[in-house]
Structure 1
């Protein structure tokens, strides 16, 4: 490829972003979203591929911290804004950007890179594995009852403009981040993205609304949502509650928020598009079949430095295993690694000892947050057991009590 790869300059942002829009179909973002994207762009971590005076490829990264099993926040590159001009596809542009980007991530000392994929087939060849899933639901509230735990009636709810309570909602979110793998500590400026509300993107729904849960004067939960009015012939109301976000510190606050959403007048359905796969509302409802539950891929994760990545998390059971790792795109990871760890910590170092499990870096990425078991990957032929018993022990060690979840895209 003879094109020029450059670090993005602020003066070139509009042309760079327009190329990204073109790669995603040519529909321009609203002015509000465009300015929010500009505000959080990390120019030193964003690159453009140039053909003469034209931008033909874009890629960027955010300097995130990602929660891993054990609760630690690990420096992580959040890969974003990846696009190639339609007339420059299949010419090595994407591969060149991924090569440059992963080299830069390694140089910065970040052991992990993550992304959300517009097309799942794209990123596996660069070593990214599906590390978490997300649950969507369409709850028929007119036909599903809700059973709430003791203490729910002690929670006070109040409506507030989303922007007016943004600080307290962000503080609550920050308290929850260490408790679930896959969550991201939001960077300054990202809080504005949580309440972005362009009228053009509402699809007939109301402006964003917020309900805050309180107990003894403390904020213990919140939900952000929209209402889409729907009327059947004969003036029968069947509106939708479109849930954007719901977070709570305890079961009573959580249930109080769901009960509120169930009871909103003129609605008969809650549509939630991005919830953790172990979301507790599934145990509050009387009929899960009428909740329209569906799963899809969420966060994709790639260990950039295998040893540092595996040392950064803890393990649910004691583990001592030699992994034969294959990584064709980042060959510095290829080889045998001895992973030793437990709930207190871990070490992962190169070794010449015989391998007990063989897998690629992509499978490590899938299993890393505990949402996908090594045993399941082995059943698909993607992990090979070389020493009897190693698979069961390692699979148990990589597990997570809570399912990993990415609450929002980037």
Structure 2
């Protein structure tokens, strides 16, 4: 693909230096549909990024777009704070009937604000309020958001340094296989909990991702998650599962923890819950934990009614018959087959892969290789990003609705990009 350098002057001179993704994809995007994005010069890009997991159903999904346009055209409420609206009622009823009840969950639904970090902040605040303790345990390479409370339970040193103040009341523990299987699971964690001389303040809760997306596509085993849930129960700690990127079907089931057979006390959901890329997040918790006073936690944009409309439409369109989970797992097998061959071909470069459902990571012995692969993929018309503490993982995050031939097309481009960065 020949790309004429676009005029990016207004972005480089006026927009903050904090901008990130645009540096790896130096073009000006104009429109998007399904699994494709188009820049203003007419170039086409196959999207294996999906809005960092916010577009599980693709760009401008026609079913969701129709529901949104109909709602806006009849002057439906746009901004509703926490007022009762028809759009919120429709979402809550769909979420109860399509997601919660079929899974035997009775969790209450809280709308904490528009972003994932809002959901995490509410979860941490509630856990501390319920247990009357300050400490939260998180895991190595975790990512839970960019506000101060969420950063305190995030592992990435670069992101933590941006806080500018000490990040306190968070204690990291090794994630699954962090020590390469050299020690039994949780031996250090449980020893600290049981030893009055350990210096560990008893935690209110443990927060965990079943798959660490930003941390490098690190996949926790089901047995590790079950052992963690058991540990929390034995030591009177709440279990928070951060399902912001891996929920809404990314790993196959609607919630990423379903395969492990655990039921978290608190669940955070965002990114693809609206289905259309509209800001929306949820904090879900067991009914007995709902000890909030009215207005004790609030936010001006927690009632984003257009997001409720597309969220309900997504649930009704994709989660009533079990087909979305089957399709995601099938597409995942398609990805894994390609990665298996690709890593065998590049074994001498230390290539390996890992993932679940439709989230996959590809790594090499040379950490810089991932960034080179992503740059070449962009030149070839494929949008992929890196993840991991050193940006050492090529992360694949296509839409769940991607067609098999589109997925094959992207995997062929990925294969070419890897070969051309040898």
In the superposition, the TM-score normalised over structure 2's length comes to: 0.22
- The structure whose residues are more often helix, as a share, is 2
In the superposition, the TM-score normalised over structure 1's length comes to: 0.22
- The structure whose residues are more often strand, as a share, is 1
Which one has more relative contact order, counting CA pairs under 8 Å at least 6 apart?
2
Larger Rg belongs to? 1
